[in-house]
């Protein structure tokens, strides 16, 4: 009994702490939000009005608040139409020192309900849910849609298929730098990085400069073996230049494969456009990377071979799965989420969803449905 005392005390203290967080999350959705709930450091970064605005948006979308439950290292705010994972940290005085609302998860009764909800989104949508290799839900799964940075699954597949050691050093090159996402474009040229470091940043942070360096190091044609119909394969730098150069863009759209390879070479040799110029160029779903949901799941299953693919688990709950491979992609009018999962009993799942709409995509609409699908599969897997 004496040996058990410290353990029981720890459980008691944990329960007290969890209870405090539960009550604070509950208050956020049931009471007028008060400044005294937050630490001074928190309020220096985020105002009470900003927190209240987020709460109003969530309740407007998800309906009546029903309660809170713990889930791993976070808490789940439960609503009539869905759930919101909440990461909250209290200081020694019980004030909120950290608060983060993760994307909502729709409350779905079945995969059929998820498929129907996705079919109602404007524009083009594809979905594939696999258990092992058997489809559990399909919606335009063979449609070749723009997927943004999800193309980086092809780059990882090429790296894993190569005989290059992951600890091989690569020097950062000015000519291979790109625009964000990521931060490597701000690092000085000549900085040594390993192939594993580049791949980790590409998968976890969607670092464009990391992806372009890997394409050049491995060789474009080596990556194209895993890029399906994306031949010749665009680097992110080439795509950004093409989007903002009407002459090169016209040649790319009209050219055959040989002409397009020449255009890529010219584009990669030109200066990068400013982010402002790129944004002003607007959406262009024709000048993109295009994959089917089936192709993305095949690549995601290959990505499970490396822990690098699970540094960022996306919307999947890390504690619910033995392995996770995730890569998403976004662009103007483009949103993709692709996740491969391995349950504790070894069963494999994949969920790939893509939404294309030149008028724009509302990320939280897809996030909610996609998160609901992952939650259904987690429950099926016993988690």
Q: What is the pLDDT of residues 279-291, one digit of tens each?
A: 999 889 999 999 9
pTM higher than 0.85: yes
Residue 233 is predicted with a pLDDT of 98
User: Quick one: 256 and 306 in the same domain?
Assistant: no
**pLDDT tens for each residue of 227-265:** 999 999 999 999 999 999 999 999 999 999 999 999 999
- State whether 55 and 127 are in the same domain: no
- Same-domain pairing of 115 and 180: no
Do 118 and 159 reside in the same domain of the chain?
Answer: no
The candidate with the shortest Cα–Cα distance to 353, out of 147, 152, 149, is 147
List, for residues 348-364, the tens digit of each pLDDT value: 999 999 999 999 999 99
Residue 150 has pLDDT above 60, yes or no: yes
Residues 265 and 174 in one domain: yes
The domain in which residue 54 lies consists of 4-102
168 and 267, same domain (yes or no): yes
What's the Cα-to-Cα distance from 101 to each of 5, 158, 247, rounded to whole Å?
Answer: 36, 35, 44
Which of 281, 299, 327 delimits the end of a domain? 281
The answer to whether residue 13 scores a pLDDT higher than 50 is no
What pLDDT score was predicted for residue 12? 35
Same domain, 28 and 67: yes
Both 38 and 89 in one domain: the answer is yes
Is the same domain home to 268 and 344? no
How many structural domains comprise the chain?
A: 3
Domain end (from 42, 68, 102): 102
Same domain, yes or no: 119 and 79: no
- The residue from 42, 71, 102 where one domain ends is 102
C-alpha dihedral over 154, 159, 163, 167, to 10 degrees? 180
What is the model's pLDDT at position 225?
98
Model pLDDT for residues 327-340, shown as the tens digit of each residue = 999 999 999 999 99
Q: Which residues contact 37 (CB under 8 A, 6 or more apart)?
A: 24, 27, 95, 96
Instruction: Answer yes or no: are the C-beta atoms of 346 and 115 closer than 8 Å.
Output: no
pLDDT digits (tens, 9 = 90+) for 17-50: 458 999 999 999 999 999 999 999 999 999 999 9
CATH code of the domain containing 93: 3.10.450
Contact 29, 55 (CB under 8 A): yes
Residue 257 shares a structural domain with residue 358? no
- CATH of residue 253: 3.40.710.10
- The answer, yes or no, to whether residue 161 has pLDDT greater than 70, is yes
Whether the pLDDT of residue 4 is over 50: the answer is no
pLDDT at 18: 57
Question: Are 221 and 309 contained in the same domain?
Answer: no
In tens, the pLDDT along 198-223 reads 999 999 999 999 999 999 999 999 99
In the DSSP assignment, the letter for residue 332 is T
């Amino acid at each position: 009994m004496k040996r058990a005392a410290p353990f029981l005390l720890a459980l008691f203290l944990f329960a007290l702490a969890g209870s405090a967080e539960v009550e604070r999350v509950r208050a956020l959705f049931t009471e007028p939000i008060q400044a005294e709930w937050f630490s001074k450091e928190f309020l220096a970064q985020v105002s009470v009005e900003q927190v209240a605005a987020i709460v109003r948006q969530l309740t407007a979308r998800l309906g009546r608040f029903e309660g809170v439950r713990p889930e791993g290292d976070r808490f789940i705010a439960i609503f009539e139409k869905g759930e919101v994972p909440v990461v909250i940290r209290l200081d020694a005085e019980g004030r909120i020192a950290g608060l983060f609302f993760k994307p909502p998860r729709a409350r779905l009764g079945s995969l059929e309900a998820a498929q129907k909800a996705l079919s109602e989104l404007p524009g083009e949508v594809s979905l594939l849910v696999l258990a092992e290799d058997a489809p559990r839900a399909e919606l335009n799964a063979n449609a070749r849609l723009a997927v943004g940075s999800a193309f980086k699954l092809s780059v990882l597949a090429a790296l894993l298929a190569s005989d290059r050691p992951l600890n091989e050093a690569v020097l950062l090159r000015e000519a291979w730098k790109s625009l964000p996402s990521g931060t490597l474009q701000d690092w000085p040229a000549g900085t040594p990085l390993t192939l594993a470091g580049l791949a980790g940043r590409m998968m976890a942070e969607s670092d464009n400069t990391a992806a372009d360096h890997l394409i050049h190091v491995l060789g474009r044609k080596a990556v194209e073996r895993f890029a399906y119909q994306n031949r010749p394969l665009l680097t992110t730098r080439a795509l950004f230049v093409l989007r903002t150069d009407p002459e090169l863009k016209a040649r790319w759209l009209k050219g055959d494969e040989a002409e397009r390879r020449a255009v890529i070479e010219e584009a990669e040799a030109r200066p990068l456009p400013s982010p402002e110029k790129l944004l002003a160029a607007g959406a262009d779903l024709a000048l993109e990377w295009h994959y089917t949901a089936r192709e993305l799941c095949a690549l995601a299953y290959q990505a499970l071979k490396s822990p690098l693919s699970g540094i960022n688990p996306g919307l999947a709950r890390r504690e619910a799965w033995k392995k996770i491979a995730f890569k998403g992609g976004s662009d103007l009018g483009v949103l993709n989420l692709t996740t491969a999962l391995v349950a504790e009993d070894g069963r494999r799942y994949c969920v790939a969803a893509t939404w294309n709409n030149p008028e724009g995509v509302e990320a939280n609409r897809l996030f909610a449905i996609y998160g609901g699908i992952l939650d259904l599969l987690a429950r099926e897997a016993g988690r």
